[in-house]
Structure 1
Amino acid sequence: MPKGFSLFLSTLAVVSALGFDSVRAAPAAPQENTGRNTRDQGGNTVTPEDQNESSADRNLAASIRKAVVKDKSLSVDAHNAKIIVRGGLVTLRGPVETPAEKTKLQTIAERTRGVKQVDNQLEPKSP
């Protein structure tokens, strides 16, 4: 009998003895933001697809993103927030961990040279 085969049979016996005769995949969980995405379908909200393609707006979005990612105190959600720039007007969207993160991202955007106004639509997960 090959060396690894006996280990496989032993493992199989333990799994069977514990009642794990068949492994089933967990049912797929609904996406966290599925309900939120329906609001974007009407065309009344700004989405990343509305990002202006001017070099000034792209550079402004990149500057904000760089400052956000540089701040290691922010959560992964905050680092991945949507930053949409159109004519110097910045829209922030997506989930963040806390209201403090929401405020911090707005402050970062407002302090970025060239930003005219910030529409903060970030959604804190906890109060």
Structure 2
Amino acid sequence: MFTRLLLVIFTLTGSLIMMTGPVLAEQNTSFHLAANSELENTERNVRDKDNATLTPEDQKETKKDIQITAQIRKTVVRDKSLSIDAQNAKIITRSGVVTLRGPVASEAESKTLQKIAKKTRGVVKVDNQLEIKAP
């Protein structure tokens, strides 16, 4: 009985896929971003894949580095004057060296994040790679 039920389901599913396949194919339209779109970040993604730029995956797993990153993140998120972009900036700590990356709304936000990182206990150096978003 169970085998027969599976056969019926398979047969029906196969028929449905065959019937809807061409319909779905006709409805499948490609989504292309304009080169000047804020969402177009292909160049940034290529840059991040070349291993020359730190990404969050490069975060050291030492207790001290994790604590530094967590403290900076906590302070940044609590600062309601910062934009969502600034609050979501990448914070990567390796042996006490903090790298800040990502878009921020202004030079002032960039300096605020850098100041927060520098004030955090255990930070040896801050590498500010934040990018100011175009207005």
Match of 2:44 in 1: 36
1:91 aligns with 99
Question: Structure 1, residues 67-97: CA drift from partner, whole Å, max 9, x if none?
Answer: 0001000000000000000000000000001
Separation in 2, partners of 1:90, 1:65:
12
TM-score w.r.t. structure 1 length? 0.75
The percentage of aligned residue pairs carrying the same residue is 58
Give, as a single letter, the amino acid of the residue that structure 1 aligns with 2:33: A
Match of 1:13 in 2: none
Aligned to 1:46: 54
- Cα distance per residue 1:27-61 (max 9 Å; x no partner): 45363322211112221111111100111111110
Which runs of structure 1 show a deviation greater than 3 angstroms over 4 or more consecutive aligned residues? Answer: 25-32
* Count of matched residue pairs: 103
State the partner residue of 1:68.
Answer: 76
In structure 1, distance between residues paired with 2:64 and 2:42 = 32
TM-score, L = length of structure 2: 0.70
- Structure 1 gaps of 5+ residues are 1-24
* More helix, by proportion: 2
Gapped runs of 5+ residues in structure 2? 1-28
CA RMSD after TM alignment? 1.8
Which of 112, 121, 125 matches 2:120?
112
Question: 1:78 matched to which residue of 2?
Answer: 86
CA contact (8 A) 1:99 1:126 kept: no
